[in-house]
Structure formats: structure tokens, C-alpha cells
Amino acid sequence: MIQDAGDAAMLDRLFHALADGTRRAMIDRLGSGPASVKELAAPFAMALPSVMKHLAVLETGGLVRSDKRGRVRTYRLDPDALPRIERWVALRKAGWERRFDRLEAFLAEEEEKRP
């Protein structure tokens, strides 16, 4: 399960982005489709610069993409983000399952040794 430094840094940014409830709420909103900064800011009692900082963290984390048309910046989910998370989880899950399988085999052997 060794990763290169680039993968580790990317995962750090991705999980950092997901670590905040406001950013997760923005991700949930973007699950319904693209949204402008103004639309994403509407449910939150914070200044627009704070919203922009959250969106920058999400974009740096690889979770969203943005484009600007005129004066309107629109954000959308990055479709590559979820598979990256799923791969990371799947690798850990496989390792855990191997350990549990070995534990199960060990316990079965110990049970057989009992008189």
C-alpha cells in the first residue's frame, strides 16, 4: 500500500477539504448540479470572501472545478474525485479483510487444539 508523495499530498488535500462541515454542505449542494458562488453562499451566514476560501480549498482538494463566464464563477463537482476516494478506501478495506481472515484462521486453529 505504498503511495508516492504526489498521491499522499493529493489525498491530504482531498481529506482536508472534506474535513469541514461547510465544505461538505457545499459538496452536497453541488450534487444537485452546478452552482454559482452566490448560490453556494446563500445558506451560510458568512462573508463572500470566506465562502471563496472554502471553495478554493475544495478546488485545491480536487473535489470541484470552476469556470468563469463574465462576472459569474460557477462550480461543479469533479467526477474524478469520488473514484480517488473509493480507491483509497478499497485498498485499506482489502488490507483489513486479509488481517481478519488471518485472525479467523488463527482462532479456528486454536479452537481445534482445545481438548
Domains of the chain in start order, with CATH, are: 5-113 (1.10.10.10)
Burial class (CB in 10 A: 0-12, 13-18, 19+), 16: middle
Q: What is the pLDDT along the chain (115 residues), one digit of tens a residue?
A: 446 667 888 889 999 999 999 999 999 999 999 999 999 999 999 999 999 999 999 999 999 999 999 999 999 999 988 888 888 889 889 888 899 889 888 888 888 888 7
Contacts of 52 (CB under 8 A, 6+ apart): 37
